[in-house]
A = this chain, B = another copy of it.
């Protein structure tokens, strides 16, 4: 339905962008960057301790989704599931550290129970969920991806659903399957964009400007992981990237490039999609 949907939203032929803040709720420093940037869109990791802060203190037009989580990738902080599934846990009881380990072990029924519990917890905290997306893309295993698509339909929520499976972080032999699943879905599809792989030698702002300038027409889901470089934030192994995102997105030169786009929220997409599916 993407073409008809974007058309109904007046986006056809435009350079449209959703600037998406990942990993909200994971750290106080991640939430700090969210308040500092004062942009509408992001998604919250419900198994993490700081999730309630984002939900309690969100701007009125906040465009917040659930960042469906099945992995806990650092040595610390670490997270454990909301639900009892043994297959979701590593030897210590945390979510698996890598997609490979998660894909090897998780049972689809246990993943489904966990993902549903994360959505329900967000609703229970009073979040008006506007979309769902996926931490590290762990939902991309085909059977789990079917659950992800199903949750979008059931809750009437748009997903981070890329048009193309080509650069998805999955084994190459699964990309064709993923592509078929994407194409079979009636949910709207976006163009995945990020700074992954960009050259940051000339500085974060330049990397942002270069990456953004290359984006053509389409609805781009541009994700970032901005976090404050405070004492807690600097405890993450990738804090420099997160701090770089914050720096660039705070830079008027980057905001100027972003202002050339038509900004879109998942709330707008969700509401248009619900009208469309009704």
- Confirm or deny: A47 has a beta carbon within 8 angstroms of a beta carbon on chain B: yes
Knowing A28-B231, A49-B48, A230-B232 are in contact, say whether A92-B121 is a contact too (CB < 8 A): yes
Number of copies: 2
- Confirm or deny: A167 has a beta carbon within 8 angstroms of a beta carbon on chain B: no
Segment touching B, from A5-13, A80-88, A257-265: A80-88
- Confirm or deny: A196 has a beta carbon within 8 angstroms of a beta carbon on chain B: no
> A68-103 vs B: 1/0 string, CB under 8 Å?
000000011111101110000001110000000000
> Nearest CB to that of A46 among chain B residues?
B93
> Nearest CB to that of A123 among chain B residues?
B92
How many residues from A make CB contacts under 8 Å with B? 33
- Confirm or deny: A145 has a beta carbon within 8 angstroms of a beta carbon on chain B: no
- Confirm or deny: A277 has a beta carbon within 8 angstroms of a beta carbon on chain B: no
Distance of A87 from chain B, by nearest CB (Å): 14
When the two chains form the complex, which single residue of B49, B117, B124 contacts A76, counting CB atoms closer than 8 Å? B49
When the two chains form the complex, which single residue of B51, B56, B84, B230 contacts A231, counting CB atoms closer than 8 Å? B230
The CA of A29 and the CA of B79, in the complex, are separated in Å by: 18
Q: Is the CB of A78 within 8 A of B92?
A: no
- Confirm or deny: A225 has a beta carbon within 8 angstroms of a beta carbon on chain B: no
- Confirm or deny: A242 has a beta carbon within 8 angstroms of a beta carbon on chain B: no
The CA of A232 and the CA of B235, in the complex, are separated in Å by: 12
CB-CB contacts below 8 Å: A46-61 with B: 47-53, 56
Q: Is the CB of A28 within 8 A of B83?
A: no
> A157-186 vs B: 1/0 string, CB under 8 Å?
000000000000000000000000000000
Q: Nearest 6 A-B pairs (CB), nearest first?
A: A49-B77, A84-B84, A53-B76, A28-B232, A232-B232, A52-B76
15 A-B pairs in the complex with CB atoms less than 8 angstroms apart: A28-B28, A29-B231, A48-B49, A50-B76, A52-B92, A53-B75, A53-B76, A56-B76, A83-B84, A84-B84, A91-B124, A93-B121, A230-B231, A230-B232, A231-B231
Q: Is the CB of B56 within 8 A of A92?
A: no
The CA of A82 and the CA of B89, in the complex, are separated in Å by: 11
